Chains A and B, each alone.
Chain A
């Protein structure tokens, strides 16, 4: 078995873009790393029904329910992550030792496509602090 890596789409899309200056790639992709597990509810549907304007946790996007789990603020090399209602994490923007290619292995068509190339990530290694 063998399959070629198709990077044509990515090449086309990145050709006209400016060089990457932040942790978000020109194609709008970010790599977020947390030293721990991100615990989310298992059932979106019933919780979404009970969602209020105040909380605004749930929304519909492309036919699926998604949950807003936090807020991220980047200040140069420093990053702050608020998770849920109670946790605040402090982290950094770091350059990856080696760039990582995100590849999509499409088993339906037996194709591999390069989605993007990540050069930076935002990493949160420290214990979460209370929000206040």
Chain B
């Protein structure tokens, strides 16, 4: 086999020869899935015109509605043990990720590291991660409302008026505080976040979340400066975690439990024990 696989008895992730996620086996199913990092170039507008503003702190507004891939091949290292199996992926010099599955956890963890976003080409960039499955979601997906109930979203649609979208990407982005999900009759895919992010489903079966952005123009909504964080030198590096839960559509209890455990993890306190042996400590 040319595939790399990691997992536990309930969940298996397979990676192709280019290092990308390609298949998930969970809940008795083997389904196609992919995950990659992409970026949008921020729009540069004329801020004196209300409908032609730059992408900035207040608004997400990609230039020309195009998305760009960051890598066609990923460097990978695989570590397998009896507690966790993980794949270390390097997409380019400023994007890397660890994908891991713990022995008895029902989810896969994607720990991403993005930055400093290069701006040598004088283009602002907004980085997203996209999970693409074969789930027939028919344009419907769900985002949470401050970690409480899930709200149904439909691509290119608003419930109370006839919508004509001029910006197909930004117009379909919604706030995600802790969870974004989609499903059909046979499978459900949910992604839990560790922080508030923007997210969408721009095609059936696909979920994407924005993880980091660096922009060179103010959007003229009030902040008065571009979102270009250079105080620490080259720009900020961000690191965070996503949890992927895949299974039958009825598996929502696992999502709620995982949500609690990941958003309210145990507090850790460290104490030097140089003055105590293990028996004295006990």
Chains A and B come from one and the same complex: no
Interface residues of B (CB under 8 A from A): none
Interface residues of A (CB under 8 A from B): none
